[in-house]
Amino acid sequence: MRRFLLVTGLLLTVLFLGTVHAKVKVKVDFDPAFDFTKPQTWSWDDKGVGRVIMARTADDDPEELKGRAEPVIKDAVTTELAKRKLQPPGGSGTADLEVTYYLLISVGMNAQYMGQFLPAVAAWGLPPFNSATQAVNVVETGSLVLDIMADNKVVWRGVAQAEIKPGMPTEKRRELIQEAVRELLAKYPPKPKK
């Protein structure tokens, strides 16, 4: 019985963690020559905190979305960087690092057709029947790009991508942005490549 409970607990843990991390896909790249142990302070880029780019319809209003998303992004980034012992510069001093974000909202499409995964007929190099679309999936995706710069050069870039479901409540979108920032900055400072 004890073994059953232990196995069940482990399975539930794996399933729970899998569903939490399945929402946001994260990719990070960094300059391996940069010493990430030296920076102590950070600030938002003086050219602007960030930018929202939308590629869905002609009626999109990036400024309206920026007004809703930017406070959430700023708060999440500030919280996560403080956990990593990075603080804003005191007084009028310049920061060691500058941070900026890009929020990209677009629509993508996936299509599958009959015979897509079958090998071609060796004699002609063609599938054994005409292809016809069998499934089409149109999805709205959001990507959050965080750039960390030193001396006007990007030294760390993280990209978090997630599917945005139509009609998703505002609070869920807020949680998705917070999770994206948390997942991204969990990979800062980066471990040196071997």
Q: Which residue has the higher pLDDT, 73 or 18?
A: 73
- Gap between the Cα atoms of 170 and 176, Å rounded: 10
**Residue boundaries of the structural domains of the chain:** 24-185
pLDDT band at 10 (very low <50, low <70, confident <90, very high): very low
Tell me what pLDDT residue 156 has.
97
Confidence (pLDDT) at 16: 36
Q: What is the total residue count of the chain?
A: 194
- pLDDT tens track for 139-175: 567 899 999 999 999 999 999 998 877 678 889 989 9
Q: Report residue 57 as tokens.
A: 């319809």
pLDDT band at 100 (very low <50, low <70, confident <90, very high): very high
Q: What is the pLDDT of residue 65?
A: 84
pTM higher than 0.85: no
Residue 166, CA distances (Å) to 56, 102, 163, 193 in order: 13, 21, 10, 39
Model pLDDT, residue 151: 92
Q: Which sign does the torsion angle of CA 97, 102, 160, 171 carry?
A: positive
3-state secondary structure of 96: coil
Q: Which residue has the higher pLDDT, 20 or 153?
A: 153
> 24-185: what fold?
Double Stranded RNA Binding Domain (3.30.160)
Judge whether residue 22 has pLDDT over 60.
no
- Among 74-88, 99-113, 176-190, which stretch is predicted with the lowest mean pLDDT? 99-113
Q: Dihedral of the CA atoms 30, 31, 37, 41 (nearest 10)? A: -80
Q: Using pLDDT thresholds of 50, 70 and 90, give the confidence band for residue 130.
A: low
Residue 11 has pLDDT above 80, yes or no: no
